[in-house]
Amino acid sequence: MVLGVNFPKFELYSNTLTLDTPIEFIKGIGPERAKLLQQTLGINNVGDFLQFYPVRYLDKSKIYLISELNESLPEIQLQGKISELSELGVGRSKRLRAKFQDRSGSMELIWFQYSKWLKEQIPIGKELFIFGKITKFNNVFSMAHPEIEIQDNAPRPQHLIPIYPSSEKLTKRGLSQKFFRVLLKTLCLELPNLVQENLPQTVLEQYQLLSRESALLNTHFPQTVDWQLKADKRLKFEEAFFFQLAYGLKKQHHAASAVGHPFRVVGAFFKSFYADQLPFELTEAQKRVLKEIREDMRRPIQMNRLLQGDVGSGKTMVALLSMLLAKDNGFQSCLVAPTEILAQQHYIGISKLLEPTGLKVGLLTGSTKKAERELLHQDLRSGALSILIGTHAVFEKTVQFHNLGLCIIDEQHRFGVAQRATLWAKNKIAPHILVMTATPIPRTLAMSFYSDLDVSVIDELPVGRKAIITVHKKEKDRLSVYKFCEEEIQKGRQIYFVYPLIEESETLAYKNLQEGYAHITEYFKNYTCTMLHGKMLAKEKQKAMDEFARGDSQIMVATTVIEVGVNVPNASVMVIESTERFGLSQLHQLRGRVGRGADQSYCILMSSEKLGAESRKRIKTMCQTNDGFKISEVDLEIRGPGDMLGTQQSGVVDFKRLDLIKDYEIIKQTKDLVASLLKKDPKLQSPEHSGLKVYYLKNYRSKTKWSKIS
Ligand code: ADP
Ligand code: MG
């Protein structure tokens, strides 16, 4: 017998019930709860309910003693007797209290807003099992609204009890653990009529997976831990499989439909630049990546490639050489940067490198003057201009190319998918696309997320770079930090001080920067300090950058405008203020502004005394490693994939069981499996694949549109 708060009963109409049946049609849910389920948990129909998986399980095979209780325990089971029952309070604060004892001690059971019926049902003096979450109040342990089971001689199942992702607020409004358990139990009885297998039989055998039906049953009501794990494995596998299938099909579609310009020759521009102008030997990783890009662009299929390379790994040179290949094949190319400063810097660097080749390079940003802009437009249309460097201004409709063959987007994480999309409209045949990012995405994520892009990785820094030394300092250390900076300046080095943007208050951010600047100029009065922030005009910003780059100023006090790509090799110290306000990838980007020359560089993370657990983890990670991939993995752990990629709209990363970090093996297995499956049966026509085809069309096709760059 099971007792407790109002215990809903559910009736189903099993002959008509399908996965699409709206939850309103399940008797006993009622319109109010149905609305709440839709709004707070996104559960609309029977299918959603079956995929509303438990977050954890209560192990009924374990019985705790009152003497070993502590508040951190999850929901637990105790065995004992109720000895006293009393009613307390009046009106709304009325409650029922019972004393519960086992052989090790006693505790309280509490019911709020209980019915007379419930009170009469409470079994005093009988041997019981109770379940619930322990809290401690006035030094006494108590359990509110426990589930009670009277001990009789019937054999007790040793199963795990599912705990669903609910909250106290939802519980109060009728969505209690018991509600979910009873409802799902009822639905699980219908499983044979409701679900069909969606993986091929051969796959189930090869990977030793439970059937879909059995997996759902055993995830909600596992008989043992072992069965629960088997169910878990099957559900993860299924999620990974269909995710890979969606992208596999999309890639297949792309290969068949995305016509591209074949760059067949490696010509004079590339060859002579490579032989005569290259200022350094390419790293092995740069060579490999360049080869991958060349192979891609040689085909009459549009390239769609993501180039990942840590800060300072030399992506710009790869971009430049790729643009020369475009030129050799008679095509124009453009390089798009996220900020004006960065576009300017690319323009200056690349123009200088290309000077001996006589190639014409243009710069187009938001602040390009009208007359200049018109000239650029003309040269682009006529084809006189081979390479255009710019900001998102190059995406404007008025910018028309003669024949754009390659578009490179630098520091991709700053661009939205929407912006990239407009690129397609530029030409009848779409240009090859190379997206470069310095915020490496964890390998698992790249593999699952960008499986419609090809991914190249520069996993090696140019020789001779010294690892940046990173330390964590607090306000009390400020003077010693300044002193250290001064010593570096005396050695001829330059320093950055960076202040966070404060989203809630731009004014406050500005004030912090101004105050910081005043403080720094006072201490470093014998040196020149430059300030740089987002509110300055483009011209002023450029002037400040130039001053610092020339070495006329020793200290740059800035907001995060300098985050991306700024290159002053003589700068050797990066002091980050209020580090706790920055995200990990941003910190890594900022740190990448130093360590660009041959000198030992330092990154000093300033923070307040008190730090939250997440901030501590971020700072610790920064102090421990310079490896962008490792950092991105920690970042993924902290933030979750949707947030990390800035694609909240993606229903696709919303995995229920799959963990992108921990389940790397499954992701890899399914990727290979899907690849070979599609090779044999690209249109999923074989009878063996009919189940998965139906499931795919119903559940995945519409969800995956967003990630297409077009
Ligand atoms: P990122 O990948 O962060 O964009 P950059 O392309 O700006 O890096 O390169 C960082 C610095 O390293 C630049 O000063 C560049 O000239 C230099 N560099 C790039 N490749 C090499 C190489 N193979 N050997 C030596 N220096 C290199
Ligand atoms: Mg760069």
Q: What is the dihedral of CA 131, 133, 136, 141, to 10 degrees?
A: 10
Q: How far is the CA of 350 from the centre of ligand 1 (A)?
A: 12
pTM of the predicted model over 0.75:
no
Q: What tokens appear for 394 in the block?
A: 């190059």
C-alpha of residue 437 to centroid of ligand 2, in Å:
8
What is the whole-number distance in angstroms between the Cα of residue 562 and the centre of ligand 2? Answer: 12
Q: Which of 281, 317, 322, 457 to mutate to test the pocket of ligand 1 (most atoms within 8 A of CB)?
A: 317
Residue located nearest, by CA, to atom 18 of ligand 1: 314
Q: Which ligand is nearest to the CA of 628?
A: 1
CA of 282 to the centre of ligand 1 (A): 9
Three-state SS for 581?
A: helix
Q: Are the beta carbons of 544 and 536 closer than 8 angstroms?
A: yes
Residue 467 has a CB neighbour count (10 Å cut-off) of: 12
Atom of ligand 1 nearest to the CA of 311: 3
**How confident is the model at residue 425, as a pLDDT?**
55
Starting from the CA of residue 593, give the closest ligand. 1
Three-state DSSP state, 263: coil
Atom 26 of ligand 1, residue of closest alpha carbon:
462
pLDDT score of 649: 37
CATH superfamily of 268-458: P-loop containing nucleotide triphosphate hydrolases (3.40.50.300)
User: Nearest to residue 255, comparing CAs of 294, 305, 301?
Assistant: 301
Ligand located closest to 596 CA: 1
Separation of alpha carbons 459 and 624, rounded Å? 18
Asked if 533 and 508 touch (Cβ cutoff 8 Å), the reply is no
**CATH of span 57-163:** 2.40.50.140
Alpha-carbon distance of 91 to 89, in angstroms, equals 7
User: What parts of the chain have a pLDDT lower than 70?
Assistant: 1-15, 154-158, 168, 412-427, 439, 442-453, 502-504, 563-565, 640-654, 701-710
The pLDDT tens digits of the residues spanning 241-299 come to 998 888 788 778 777 777 889 999 999 999 999 999 999 999 999 999 999 999 999 99
3-state SS track over 95-152:
EEEEEEEECCEEEEEEEECCCHHHHHHCCECCCEEEEECEEEECCEEEEECCEEEECC
CATH superfamily of this structure's domain 469-625: P-loop containing nucleotide triphosphate hydrolases (3.40.50.300)
Domain(s) of CATH 2.40.50.140: residues in the chain: 57-163
**What is the distance in A from the centroid of ligand 1 to the CA of 606?**
28
Find all residues with CB under 8 Å of 604, minimum gap 6, and list them: 470, 471, 473, 481, 484, 573, 574, 575, 576
How close is the Cα of 592 to the center of ligand 1, in Å? 12
Residue 216, classified by CB atoms within 10 Å of its CB into exposed (0-12), middle (13-18) or buried (19+), is buried
The sheet that has 555-558: what strands, in order across it? 469-474, 602-607, 571-576, 494-498, 555-558, 529-532
> What atom in ligand 1 is closest to the CA of residue 592?
3
Residue bearing the CA closest to ligand 1, atom 24:
462
Ligand of minimum distance to the alpha carbon of 353: 1
- Locus of tokens 């970042």: 635
Question: Nearest C-alpha to atom 5 of ligand 1 is from which residue?
Answer: 314
**Ligand 1 centroid, distance to 472 Cα (angstroms):** 27
CATH 3.40.50.300 domain span(s) along the chain:
268-458, 469-625
> Cα of 316 to ligand 2 centre, how many Å?
6
Closest CA relative to residue 83, chosen from 96, 98, 71, 103: 98
CB 118 within 8 A of CB 106: no
From atom 15 of ligand 1, which residue's Cα is the shortest distance away?
314
| Best residue for ligand 1 mutational test, from 274, 278, 280 (most atoms within 8 Å of Cβ) | 280
Q: Ligand 1 pocket by C-beta < 6 Å: which residues?
A: 280, 282-283, 286, 309, 311-317, 438, 462, 567, 596
8 Å CB contact between 49 and 43 = yes
Decide: 357 and 306 in contact? Cβ < 8 Å: no
Ligand 1: atom nearest CA of 316 is: 6
Residue among 306, 567, 589 whose CB has most ligand 1 atoms within 8 A, to mutate: 567
CA distance 502 to 504: 6
Closest CA to 325 of 394, 379, 271: 271
- Residue whose CA is at the smallest distance from ligand 1 atom 4: 315
Q: What is the pLDDT of residue 314?
A: 92
Task: Tell me how far apart the 2 most distant CA atoms of the chain are, in Å.
Answer: 97
Report residues near ion ligand 2: CB below 5 Å: 565
Q: What is the pLDDT of residue 656?
A: 86
- State the burial class of residue 184 (Cβ atoms within 10 Å of its Cβ: 0-12, 13-18, 19+): buried
Residue closest by Cα to atom 16 of ligand 1: 314
Q: What is the 3-state secondary structure (H, E, C) of 269-325?
A: HHHHHHHHHCCCCCCHHHHHHHHHHHHHHHCCECCEEEEEECCCCCHHHHHHHHHHH
Q: Which ligand minimizes its atom distance to the CA of 278?
A: 1
DSSP structure class, residue 391: S
Ligand 1 nearest-atom number relative to CA 410:
4
- Cα distances (angstroms) measured from residue 558 to each of 244, 395, 467, 536, 622: 43, 29, 24, 11, 20
What number does the ligand 1 atom closest to the CA of 281 have?
Answer: 23
Atom from ligand 1 closest to the CA of residue 286: 23
CA of 338 to the centre of ligand 2 (A): 11
What the block records as the tokens of 125 is: 């003096």
One-character DSSP codes across 496-558: EEE----TT-HHHHHHHHHHHHHHHHHHTTTS-EEEE-TTS-HHHHHHHHHHHHHTS-SEEEE
Provide the 8-state DSSP code for 431.
P
Q: How far is the CA of 312 from the centre of ligand 1 (A)?
A: 5
**Which among 274, 281, 316 is the best mutation to test ligand 1's pocket, defined by most ligand atoms within 8 Å of the CB?**
316
Q: Where are the beta strands (DSSP E) in 547-670?
A: 555-558, 571-576, 602-607
The pLDDT assigned to 600 comes to: 93
Q: Which two tokens stand for residue 100?
A: 């519960």
Residue 307: nearest ligand to its CA?
A: 1
Smallest CA separation from ligand 1 atom 1, residue: 312
Q: Which atom of ligand 1 is nearest to the CA of 282?
A: 23
As a whole number of angstroms, the distance between CA 320 and CA 324 comes to 6
Tell me the ligand closest to 564's alpha carbon.
Answer: 2
Distance (Å) from CA 286 to ligand 1 centroid: 10
Number of Cβ atoms within 10 Å of the Cβ of 163? 17
